[in-house]
Structure 1
Amino acid sequence: MTQPGAEASVDSVEPARWERAAALFVRWREGDSRAMDELVRLMTPPLWHVVRAYGLDHALAQDVVQTTWLTLVRRHETINDPLAVSGWLTMCARREAWRVGKQHRRADATEAESLEPHLPVHESAEQTAAQDDENRRLWDAVGTLNDRCQRLLRIVAFEDRPDYARIAEDLAMPVGSIGPTRQRCLAKLRAVLEGDGWRGDSDGE
């Protein structure tokens, strides 16, 4: 039989995810840039599972999760109650996953018959676990960079065509410095990853 106060004791040792997310969100808005890295590490796994539940492949799911974080950076002032940030992120991810999934299915509908024999198989549990491990290592490596690089990479590193005017406003940086700074930060990140024996998708560059 569970003794009175047992559950409360457990909660006091390990706060719920939404409480931890709220505390990190408050720290970030108060100027602690590292709090965002911790928030990303805390919330990305559940966001990833939410997005994958909509049937998106790995590439689309990654895009949706990155878009969710970008949306938080752009619209964080609309969140009045920090305790709502985890639910806000989850809802944002669900809406974006639904939108992207609907758009992708519509685009594929006209080619379904010809493409079906060539569709990739679903990832195995081992592949998913390996990808999760690589994601954790990537964010750990980002956390070793200086605050300027961390802030910039969280927003633009995964965008093919970044909106430099908006990013310049968000980060209070000259537009002309964003591209060169991004390249220097990515070079630093690559050096950290290679020093750690990174074996991720490095063939593309």
Structure 2
Amino acid sequence: MAGDRALDRPAGARSQRRERLAALLLEARTGNRGALDAIVAELTPVLWHTARNQGLSPQAAEDVIQTTWLTLLRHLDAISVPGALIEWLVTTTRREAWRVSAAARKDDLPGDDAFEDLPDSVLTPDELLVDDERRRALWHAVESLPKRCAELLRIIAFVPRPHYDAVAAALNMPMGSIGPTRGRCFAKLRLLLAKDPDWSP
């Protein structure tokens, strides 16, 4: 299975990443602000994906992630196994996202223990790491494309159904050239990703 191969192949890299994050957590406990900033910079995309997977709006997801980081700041010494930092943050983010979702629906909010037995169909922490690695590889490849291709693909990525007239105006391109250019850019992107060992099909 392709998914299984994706999980197995980068296992060593994920283990090293966990060890590095655990070391940063230990440094953060001594008051090293740079270590905490490094954790935030590296894992915010993972937490963003986690929060958005719960159906939150971008603004609500931002609030949830901010709450998660504040919670970590208050509980730096509460994580008994530093290597489990990712799981701790993902779990904290999901619980806060559930709380925010429940409040938004104006339902009665059950206690925290009521969430323990809920079926979890979203990505596991290891799958989130694989997904994050793939995302990093993808955007690295996009940034390696010619400038016009990178600009076009960024617009297509962040606008669900971009109108060609709006894209043409944004990029100062003839509208009739967008479709062919888009096809050529995707072809170049596929070639770059095929050569990248961090990209799993």
Instruction: Give the TM-score category using the shorter length.
Output: 0.3 to 0.5
Q: TM-score, normalised by structure 2?
A: 0.47
Q: TM-score, normalised by structure 1?
A: 0.46
